[in-house]
Chains A and B, each alone.
Chain A
Amino acid sequence: MRKFKAALLSFAHVHAPSYARVLKELPNVDFVAIWDDNEERGKAFQKRYSVERYYSDLERLFAENRDLDFVIVTSENARHYEHVKIALEHDVHVLCEKPLTTNLGHADELVSIARRRGLKLGTCFVMRFHSATIQAYNMLRGGDIGLPVSITTTNHGTCPYKAAHWFVEPELSYGARVNLREGDPRYRGGSITDHTVHCADLLRWFLGSEVEEVYAEVGANIRSDLEVEDNALVMLKFRNGVQASIDCSWSRPEGVYPTWGDVNLYIVGSNGVIEIEAFNQNVHLATWKMKRLVYSYWGPDVDKVMITQFMKAIEEDSEPKASGWDGRQATEIMLAAYRSIKEGRPVKLPLL
């Protein structure tokens, strides 16, 4: 494999440090530049990962690094569009954190720019790169449980606001202040935006089918200090007849619960079941110093697999396994959940 020159745009997202670590660890990557509008943060990570150059001006990054192969965009959700677009217009391949955008028109535009310019646009659906989901995919497609019938999924988490407060600021997490529904003081941009898309993407991938209809219910908030929703349940009907659900709640108490959350899928088929608890591989650790039990993860390094495969897609000129289009489709499901909550009824897809 040839050597790639890469940059990372913004450490706003909590996943950025792990991607930066992977960029440093991979022998065929030159992690040459970091852009961050937060200079203190950007420079701190520049130092931590010994990256050659830090920029506070994004145009300058592209002007001074004309041989860049790809960038990873890990800015706030609402700024993905702007950052991905700039990168694509400089003919750089882009791997973008999920959700790709919070606006379907923006997602369509990014997908079409990438296509027009012959560039790879990937969405960070890391769960497609976990050895358990890959094996489950093969079992499912191999007919081990007959035909899939109904799938219960969860992507629970802690609320990330103490690590990165923008996750609960509607302008940055969703791109606008849109009330959840009439009479509800909360805004879109919480756990539905953050946590619907992983399971939505896994379901689309497993089933090879698109969502036909979405129904969602939002609960009163667990945390009273948020402007956005922190728990919700989403029901999906796929075109191939499979029914599914997603629990996207930030329902694990941060700083208390032994792990960040889960990605679980219970697949009932016509001739058996597949159950995935993807983050079940942990050493249980409790120390007097920590004063609590902690699950210390030892499972697959999905970030590394994802970034490696993205580079392979560039090299082989193939579609990334989790593409910009996949990002767009998951965003549509997330937006449909919001619309269902607003209208109090099931919503048909496509939305546009």
Chain B
Amino acid sequence: MQERPLKVAIVGFGFMGQTHAAAWARIPEAQIKAVFEVPARAPQIRHMVSEYGAKVVTNYEEILEDEEVNVVDVCLPTFLHREYVVKALKAGKHVLCEKPIALHLWEAREMIDAWKSSGKKFMIAHVVRFFPEYKQAKELVDSGALGEPRIARTYRYSAFPPWSVKGWFGVQRLSGGVLVDLAIHDMDFLRWIFNDEVARVYALSPERRVVKGITAQDHGIALLKFKKGGIAYVMASWAYPKTVPFSTYFELVGTGGILQFDNRSTAPLRLGTSEQYSTIQTYPEDPYYLEIRHFADHILKDVELMVTPEDAYKALEISLAAVKSSLTGEPVSLPLKEEVIP
């Protein structure tokens, strides 16, 4: 067998780490060499990891010092991103990191600075850009079919992730809450499709949580005002009952017309059993695979990044502005002058 040029270490093997691993396993030029997890979780993931022919590592230094590993994929909780990404870049690894880039602008800036001085490849996994309906919407807008973008709406909602009720997700200062962790997908996508920067954000989030026992904001609605005069409405929620499948909606109106898509009504498959009824979206290709294929091509062929670290910084800034507005009750102008998450 030919030598695989990308030796990958996956750092954090929760839901996202496992998803990324499945995608890396499909990249012929890549081999998963190691998976980093905390000692407490190491035993329970060992069999899954061994299926990829990889080993479980509980000491991060071991990955940094492994000269063979040249790609580090950080799928840790957001509050750990900066530390692990900066160390990997400084150790000379290419780095893929889950969104949001971080919880603080200073952290994101430090990560970007570390990347720039490393000469290595760095991408934040804003996977929505790889979902076919979002990608097609972007292409349609870029084709000029819709004229100048004017007003958009995005919805993204589900029940609170069941694996995370007792975890970091539900802690506002660890995940940033729904406006940071979930709405950031749409913040990034809106910037991309409007091809413009956000000037001002106003947001509302209920003071009392719908999800019992968490401190993180679990429902948020935000207005974005773009520099060229476009506006957008963003609704992101973890406050839906568990009977509701993960749902997304998007519409964009421009001077030339309107485009809309709705994963609630466009799913090609439905399943009803005595326990549940669900609509199932089947994608022509797994968006996570496309995302990781893109990053591999960026490393191997220097293909231009679809989503840059600066894009990830800007998306975070919009989300943080929304959190700040929801706490102060005032519209917040960008660029942000101070940190929002304590």
Which residues of A come within 8 Å of B, CB atoms?
A: 149-150, 152, 154, 213, 215, 217-224, 231-233, 235, 237, 241, 243, 245, 247, 249, 251-253, 256-257, 266, 268-273, 344-346
B202:A217 contact, CB within 8 angstroms = yes
A233:B239 contact, CB within 8 angstroms = no
Distance between Cα atoms of A126 and B133 in the complex (Å): 36
In the complex formed, the residue of B with least CB distance to A221 is B150
A222:B202 contact, CB within 8 angstroms = no
B221 on interface, CB distance cutoff 8 Å: yes
B219:A150 contact, CB within 8 angstroms = yes
The contact sample of 26 A-B pairs, CB cut-off 8 A, is: A149-B208, A150-B206, A150-B237, A152-B233, A152-B235, A215-B202, A215-B331, A217-B202, A217-B223, A219-B150, A220-B148, A222-B255, A231-B231, A232-B231, A243-B204, A243-B205, A245-B235, A256-B257, A266-B155, A268-B219, A268-B240, A270-B210, A271-B241, A273-B244, A344-B331, A346-B331
Distance between Cα atoms of A232 and B230 in the complex (Å): 10
Known: A245-B233, A270-B210, A271-B241. 17 other contacts (CB 8 A): A150-B219, A152-B235, A154-B153, A215-B202, A217-B202, A220-B150, A222-B255, A231-B151, A231-B253, A233-B233, A235-B221, A237-B204, A243-B205, A247-B151, A257-B258, A266-B235, A345-B331
Residues of A within 8 A of B225 (CB): 217
Residues of B within 8 A of A257 (CB): 258
A273:B241 contact, CB within 8 angstroms = yes
B119 on interface, CB distance cutoff 8 Å: no
Residues of A within 8 A of B207 (CB): 241
Distance between Cα atoms of A231 and B149 in the complex (Å): 12
B223:A235 contact, CB within 8 angstroms = yes
Residues of A within 8 A of B240 (CB): 268, 273
A219:B229 contact, CB within 8 angstroms = yes
Distance between Cα atoms of A272 and B202 in the complex (Å): 26
Residues of B within 8 A of A218 (CB): 231
In the complex formed, the residue of B with least CB distance to A145 is B241
In the complex formed, the residue of B with least CB distance to A250 is B253
Distance between Cα atoms of A200 and B252 in the complex (Å): 23
Residues of A within 8 A of B210 (CB): 149, 268-270
B330 on interface, CB distance cutoff 8 Å: yes
Min C-beta distance of B248 to chain A, whole Å: 13
Distance between Cα atoms of A266 and B219 in the complex (Å): 13
Min C-beta distance of B235 to chain A, whole Å: 5
Min C-beta distance of B97 to chain A, whole Å: 31
A220:B206 contact, CB within 8 angstroms = no
B230:A219 contact, CB within 8 angstroms = yes
Q: What total count of A-B pairs have CB within 8 Å?
A: 106
B228 on interface, CB distance cutoff 8 Å: yes
Distance between Cα atoms of A256 and B331 in the complex (Å): 36
Distance between Cα atoms of A270 and B231 in the complex (Å): 29
User: Known contacts A245-B233, A268-B210; is A253 also within 8 Å of B204 by CB?
Assistant: no
User: Known contacts A149-B239, A231-B253, A233-B231; is A219 also within 8 Å of B151 by CB?
Assistant: yes
B206's partner among A232, A233, A243 (CB-CB below 8 A) is: A243
A-B residue pairs, 9 tightest by C-beta: A220-B229, A219-B231, A243-B204, A251-B253, A231-B151, A219-B151, A222-B150, A149-B206, A217-B231
B237:A268 contact, CB within 8 angstroms = yes
From residue 202 to 221 of chain B, which have CB atoms closer than 8 A to chain A?
202, 204-208, 210, 219, 221
A152's partner among B148, B221, B230, B255 (CB-CB below 8 A) is: B221
- Chain B contact residues: helix, strand, loop or mixed: strand
User: Known contacts A219-B150, A249-B151; is A150 also within 8 Å of B257 by CB?
Assistant: no
Which residues of B come within 8 Å of A, CB atoms?
A: 148, 150-151, 153, 155, 200, 202, 204-208, 210, 219, 221, 223, 225, 228-231, 233, 235, 237, 239-241, 244, 253-255, 257-258, 329-331
A149:B229 contact, CB within 8 angstroms = no
A222's partner among B237, B241, B253, B330 (CB-CB below 8 A) is: B253
Distance between Cα atoms of A223 and B155 in the complex (Å): 25
Min C-beta distance of B323 to chain A, whole Å: 15
Distance between Cα atoms of A251 and B219 in the complex (Å): 26
Distance between Cα atoms of A241 and B204 in the complex (Å): 11
Residues of B within 8 A of A251 (CB): 150-151, 253, 258
Distance between Cα atoms of A235 and B232 in the complex (Å): 12
In the complex formed, the residue of B with least CB distance to A215 is B202
Distance between Cα atoms of A273 and B237 in the complex (Å): 12
Distance between Cα atoms of A329 and B245 in the complex (Å): 37
B221:A243 contact, CB within 8 angstroms = yes
Min C-beta distance of A1 to chain B, whole Å: 42
Residues of B within 8 A of A243 (CB): 204-206, 221
Min C-beta distance of A28 to chain B, whole Å: 42
Residues of B within 8 A of A231 (CB): 150-151, 231, 253
Distance between Cα atoms of A152 and B204 in the complex (Å): 11
In the complex formed, the residue of A with least CB distance to B203 is A235
A222:B254 contact, CB within 8 angstroms = yes
Distance between Cα atoms of A235 and B202 in the complex (Å): 9
